[in-house]
Amino acid sequence: MKLIALPAFADNYIWLLHTDRHALVVDPGDSAPVLAWMQEHPGVELDAILVTHHHADHTGGLVALVAQTGARVLGPALEKIPVAWQGLQQGDHFDWHGLAFDTLEVPGHTLGHIAFWAQPAEQDPVLFCGDTLFSGGCGRLFEGTPAQMLDSLDRLAALPGNTRVCCAHEYTLSNLRFALTVEPDNTALQSHYLRCTRLREHDLPTLPVALQTERAINPFLRSRETAVAAAVRRQDPLAVDDVTTFAALRQWKNLFR
Protein backbone atom coordinates (compact mmCIF):
# COMPACT_ATOMS: atom_id res chain seq x y z
CA MET A 1 0.00 0.00 0.00
CA LYS A 2 1.30 3.43 -0.97
CA LEU A 3 0.04 6.58 0.74
CA ILE A 4 0.07 9.98 -0.96
CA ALA A 5 -1.13 13.43 0.12
CA LEU A 6 -2.63 15.28 -2.85
CA PRO A 7 -2.68 19.05 -2.17
CA ALA A 8 -5.97 20.84 -2.84
CA PHE A 9 -7.20 24.42 -2.37
CA ALA A 10 -4.97 26.50 -0.10
CA ASP A 11 -4.21 23.92 2.59
CA ASN A 12 -6.30 20.74 2.14
CA TYR A 13 -4.92 17.27 1.61
CA ILE A 14 -6.83 14.60 -0.28
CA TRP A 15 -5.33 11.34 0.91
CA LEU A 16 -4.83 8.63 -1.70
CA LEU A 17 -4.04 5.03 -0.81
CA HIS A 18 -3.24 2.66 -3.64
CA THR A 19 -1.96 -0.72 -4.71
CA ASP A 20 -0.62 -1.47 -8.17
CA ARG A 21 -4.18 -1.72 -9.52
CA HIS A 22 -6.61 -0.05 -7.12
CA ALA A 23 -6.91 3.29 -5.34
CA LEU A 24 -9.09 4.94 -2.76
CA VAL A 25 -9.22 8.61 -1.83
CA VAL A 26 -10.34 10.36 1.34
CA ASP A 27 -12.29 13.63 1.49
CA PRO A 28 -12.00 14.78 -2.14
CA GLY A 29 -13.11 18.38 -1.89
CA ASP A 30 -11.87 18.89 -5.45
CA SER A 31 -11.92 16.27 -8.20
CA ALA A 32 -9.11 17.85 -10.23
CA PRO A 33 -6.08 16.65 -8.21
CA VAL A 34 -7.48 13.13 -8.09
CA LEU A 35 -8.28 12.99 -11.80
CA ALA A 36 -4.84 14.37 -12.63
CA TRP A 37 -3.22 11.63 -10.56
CA MET A 38 -5.38 8.99 -12.23
CA GLN A 39 -4.33 10.21 -15.68
CA GLU A 40 -0.70 9.82 -14.65
CA HIS A 41 -1.39 6.26 -13.43
CA PRO A 42 -3.62 4.71 -16.13
CA GLY A 43 -3.32 1.19 -14.75
CA VAL A 44 -4.86 2.12 -11.39
CA GLU A 45 -8.63 2.11 -10.84
CA LEU A 46 -10.26 4.44 -8.34
CA ASP A 47 -12.90 2.23 -6.79
CA ALA A 48 -13.51 3.64 -3.28
CA ILE A 49 -13.98 7.08 -1.76
CA LEU A 50 -14.08 7.68 1.99
CA VAL A 51 -15.72 10.77 3.48
CA THR A 52 -15.27 11.91 7.09
CA HIS A 53 -17.88 14.70 7.22
CA HIS A 54 -20.16 16.85 5.12
CA HIS A 55 -18.22 20.11 4.68
CA ALA A 56 -17.83 21.21 1.07
CA ASP A 57 -14.02 21.20 1.09
CA HIS A 58 -14.27 17.47 1.79
CA THR A 59 -17.15 16.56 -0.53
CA GLY A 60 -17.02 19.01 -3.44
CA GLY A 61 -15.35 16.57 -5.83
CA LEU A 62 -17.65 13.63 -5.17
CA VAL A 63 -20.16 14.14 -7.97
CA ALA A 64 -17.49 14.38 -10.67
CA LEU A 65 -15.44 11.49 -9.33
CA VAL A 66 -18.39 9.15 -9.00
CA ALA A 67 -19.60 10.08 -12.50
CA GLN A 68 -16.20 9.36 -14.04
CA THR A 69 -15.12 6.32 -12.04
CA GLY A 70 -18.21 4.69 -10.54
CA ALA A 71 -16.34 4.39 -7.22
CA ARG A 72 -18.36 3.40 -4.18
CA VAL A 73 -18.59 6.05 -1.50
CA LEU A 74 -18.51 5.33 2.23
CA GLY A 75 -19.20 8.10 4.70
CA PRO A 76 -20.98 9.21 7.86
CA ALA A 77 -24.42 7.69 8.39
CA LEU A 78 -25.54 10.74 10.39
CA GLU A 79 -24.71 13.40 7.80
CA LYS A 80 -25.80 14.25 4.27
CA ILE A 81 -23.37 14.14 1.37
CA PRO A 82 -24.13 14.93 -2.28
CA VAL A 83 -24.00 11.41 -3.76
CA ALA A 84 -25.33 7.97 -2.88
CA TRP A 85 -23.16 6.51 -0.12
CA GLN A 86 -22.87 3.66 2.33
CA GLY A 87 -23.49 5.12 5.77
CA LEU A 88 -21.12 4.08 8.52
CA GLN A 89 -21.28 4.43 12.30
CA GLN A 90 -19.14 3.56 15.31
CA GLY A 91 -17.88 -0.02 15.12
CA ASP A 92 -18.72 -0.60 11.47
CA HIS A 93 -16.10 -2.44 9.44
CA PHE A 94 -15.48 -2.73 5.73
CA ASP A 95 -12.89 -4.33 3.48
CA TRP A 96 -10.99 -2.77 0.61
CA HIS A 97 -8.96 -5.34 -1.33
CA GLY A 98 -7.99 -7.19 1.82
CA LEU A 99 -7.43 -4.09 3.95
CA ALA A 100 -9.84 -4.01 6.89
CA PHE A 101 -11.07 -0.58 8.00
CA ASP A 102 -12.61 0.29 11.36
CA THR A 103 -15.04 3.21 11.68
CA LEU A 104 -14.86 5.55 14.67
CA GLU A 105 -17.48 8.18 15.46
CA VAL A 106 -15.64 11.38 16.43
CA PRO A 107 -18.22 14.16 16.84
CA GLY A 108 -17.17 17.67 17.72
CA HIS A 109 -16.18 19.46 14.53
CA THR A 110 -19.50 18.21 13.13
CA LEU A 111 -22.06 16.03 14.87
CA GLY A 112 -21.72 13.05 12.55
CA HIS A 113 -17.97 13.19 11.89
CA ILE A 114 -16.28 9.80 11.51
CA ALA A 115 -12.70 8.60 11.14
CA PHE A 116 -11.20 5.52 9.49
CA TRP A 117 -8.40 3.32 10.89
CA ALA A 118 -6.66 0.44 9.10
CA GLN A 119 -3.57 -1.73 9.49
CA PRO A 120 -1.90 -2.48 6.12
CA ALA A 121 0.18 -5.64 6.11
CA GLU A 122 3.75 -5.06 7.31
CA GLN A 123 3.18 -1.29 7.54
CA ASP A 124 2.25 1.14 10.28
CA PRO A 125 -1.49 1.70 10.69
CA VAL A 126 -3.21 4.66 9.03
CA LEU A 127 -5.81 6.99 10.49
CA PHE A 128 -7.89 9.25 8.26
CA CYS A 129 -9.28 11.69 10.80
CA GLY A 130 -10.63 14.55 8.66
CA ASP A 131 -10.92 17.73 10.71
CA THR A 132 -11.08 16.16 14.17
CA LEU A 133 -7.36 15.86 14.90
CA PHE A 134 -4.67 18.04 13.35
CA SER A 135 -0.95 17.89 13.99
CA GLY A 136 -0.57 20.06 17.04
CA GLY A 137 -4.26 20.93 17.12
CA CYS A 138 -7.88 19.90 16.66
CA GLY A 139 -10.86 21.07 14.65
CA ARG A 140 -13.10 23.95 15.58
CA LEU A 141 -16.36 23.05 17.29
CA PHE A 142 -18.86 24.05 14.61
CA GLU A 143 -21.61 21.64 15.69
CA GLY A 144 -20.48 19.58 18.67
CA THR A 145 -19.61 20.33 22.28
CA PRO A 146 -16.26 20.46 24.09
CA ALA A 147 -17.20 17.27 25.92
CA GLN A 148 -17.85 15.48 22.64
CA MET A 149 -14.58 16.63 21.10
CA LEU A 150 -12.58 15.71 24.20
CA ASP A 151 -14.10 12.22 24.14
CA SER A 152 -13.40 11.90 20.41
CA LEU A 153 -9.76 12.90 20.86
CA ASP A 154 -9.40 10.52 23.81
CA ARG A 155 -10.51 7.64 21.61
CA LEU A 156 -8.15 8.61 18.80
CA ALA A 157 -5.28 9.01 21.26
CA ALA A 158 -5.89 5.44 22.47
CA LEU A 159 -5.01 3.98 19.05
CA PRO A 160 -1.56 2.40 18.57
CA GLY A 161 1.24 4.93 18.87
CA ASN A 162 2.76 4.05 15.49
CA THR A 163 -0.47 4.98 13.70
CA ARG A 164 0.16 7.41 10.83
CA VAL A 165 -2.19 10.34 11.42
CA CYS A 166 -3.51 11.65 8.10
CA CYS A 167 -5.16 14.98 8.81
CA ALA A 168 -7.08 16.86 6.13
CA HIS A 169 -5.27 20.22 6.40
CA GLU A 170 -1.74 21.59 6.51
CA TYR A 171 -2.27 23.62 9.66
CA THR A 172 0.77 22.28 11.46
CA LEU A 173 3.03 25.31 11.84
CA SER A 174 0.29 27.64 13.09
CA ASN A 175 -0.90 24.93 15.48
CA LEU A 176 2.62 24.38 16.80
CA ARG A 177 3.15 28.10 17.38
CA PHE A 178 0.08 28.03 19.60
CA ALA A 179 1.25 24.83 21.28
CA LEU A 180 4.57 26.49 22.12
CA THR A 181 2.68 29.36 23.70
CA VAL A 182 0.81 26.88 25.89
CA GLU A 183 3.76 24.62 26.70
CA PRO A 184 7.02 26.51 25.91
CA ASP A 185 9.27 24.12 27.85
CA ASN A 186 8.17 20.98 25.99
CA THR A 187 11.39 19.80 24.30
CA ALA A 188 9.61 17.29 22.07
CA LEU A 189 7.40 20.11 20.83
CA GLN A 190 10.38 22.38 20.22
CA SER A 191 12.10 19.68 18.13
CA HIS A 192 8.96 18.89 16.17
CA TYR A 193 8.43 22.56 15.35
CA LEU A 194 11.95 22.82 13.93
CA ARG A 195 11.47 19.66 11.87
CA CYS A 196 8.15 20.84 10.46
CA THR A 197 9.54 24.28 9.71
CA ARG A 198 12.26 22.70 7.58
CA LEU A 199 9.71 20.57 5.75
CA ARG A 200 7.53 23.57 4.90
CA GLU A 201 10.56 25.57 3.76
CA HIS A 202 10.92 22.90 1.05
CA ASP A 203 7.16 22.84 0.36
CA LEU A 204 6.89 19.34 1.80
CA PRO A 205 3.92 18.12 3.88
CA THR A 206 4.31 17.78 7.63
CA LEU A 207 1.96 14.79 7.45
CA PRO A 208 1.41 12.01 8.14
CA VAL A 209 2.65 12.19 11.70
CA ALA A 210 2.95 9.37 14.23
CA LEU A 211 0.23 9.37 16.86
CA GLN A 212 2.88 8.91 19.56
CA THR A 213 4.39 12.21 18.43
CA GLU A 214 1.00 13.90 18.75
CA ARG A 215 0.61 12.57 22.26
CA ALA A 216 3.88 14.27 23.15
CA ILE A 217 3.29 17.65 21.47
CA ASN A 218 -0.41 18.32 20.88
CA PRO A 219 -1.99 20.43 23.67
CA PHE A 220 -5.46 19.14 22.80
CA LEU A 221 -4.32 15.59 23.54
CA ARG A 222 -2.46 16.87 26.60
CA SER A 223 -5.10 19.10 28.20
CA ARG A 224 -4.98 17.03 31.41
CA GLU A 225 -1.18 17.39 31.71
CA THR A 226 -0.20 19.62 34.62
CA ALA A 227 1.71 22.17 32.54
CA VAL A 228 -1.05 22.51 29.94
CA ALA A 229 -3.88 22.73 32.48
CA ALA A 230 -1.98 25.32 34.50
CA ALA A 231 -1.40 27.45 31.40
CA VAL A 232 -5.08 27.27 30.53
CA ARG A 233 -6.13 28.28 34.05
CA ARG A 234 -3.91 31.32 33.88
CA GLN A 235 -6.00 32.34 30.87
CA ASP A 236 -9.34 31.29 32.34
CA PRO A 237 -9.65 30.68 36.10
CA LEU A 238 -13.05 29.06 35.51
CA ALA A 239 -11.34 26.07 33.83
CA VAL A 240 -11.74 23.77 36.82
CA ASP A 241 -12.21 20.27 35.35
CA ASP A 242 -11.32 18.26 32.24
CA VAL A 243 -14.14 19.57 30.05
CA THR A 244 -13.95 23.23 31.06
CA THR A 245 -10.17 23.14 30.68
CA PHE A 246 -10.48 21.68 27.20
CA ALA A 247 -13.17 24.22 26.29
CA ALA A 248 -11.01 27.10 27.49
CA LEU A 249 -8.02 25.72 25.57
CA ARG A 250 -10.08 25.57 22.38
CA GLN A 251 -11.34 29.11 22.92
CA TRP A 252 -7.78 30.33 23.53
CA LYS A 253 -6.78 28.79 20.20
CA ASN A 254 -9.76 30.41 18.47
CA LEU A 255 -8.45 33.85 19.49
CA PHE A 256 -4.74 33.13 18.96
CA ARG A 257 -2.91 35.11 16.29
Q: Which one of the listed residues 57, 113, 151, 192 is annotated catalytic?
A: 57
> Are 88 and 65 contacting, i.e. CB atoms less than 8 angstroms apart?
no
User: Which among 54, 58, 113, 192 is annotated as catalytic?
Assistant: 58
- Strand locations in 63-155 (E): 72-76, 86-88, 93-96, 99-105, 114-118, 126-130, 133-134, 137-138
Catalytic choice (27, 30, 131, 151): 131
Active site residue 113: no
Q: What is the DSSP letter of 86?
A: E
For residue 242, indicate whether it is catalytic.
Answer: no
Contact 54, 76 (CB under 8 A): yes
97 is catalytic: no
Query: Following DSSP, what letter does each residue of 198-216 receive, concatenated?
Result: HHHHTT----SEEHHHHHH
Strand partners of residue 169: 12
Is 131 an active-site residue? yes
Distance CA 45, CA 24 (A): 9
Query: Which of 18, 54, 113, 169 does the annotation list as catalytic?
Result: 169
Cβ–Cβ < 8 Å for 125, 162:
yes
**For this structure, is 58 an active site residue?**
yes
Which entry of 18, 109, 113, 192 is annotated as an active-site residue?
109
Cβ atoms of 108 and 132 within 8 Å: the answer is yes
Taking the C-alpha atoms of residue 109 and residue 30, their distance in angstroms, rounded to an integer, is 20
Asked if 185 is an active-site residue, the reply is: no
Cross-strand bridge partners of residue 124 = none
Out of 53, 54, 113, 192, the active site residue is 53
Among 18, 54, 55, 113, the active-site one is 55
- Establish whether 202 is a catalytic residue: no
**What are the residue numbers of the active site?**
53, 55, 57-58, 109, 131, 169
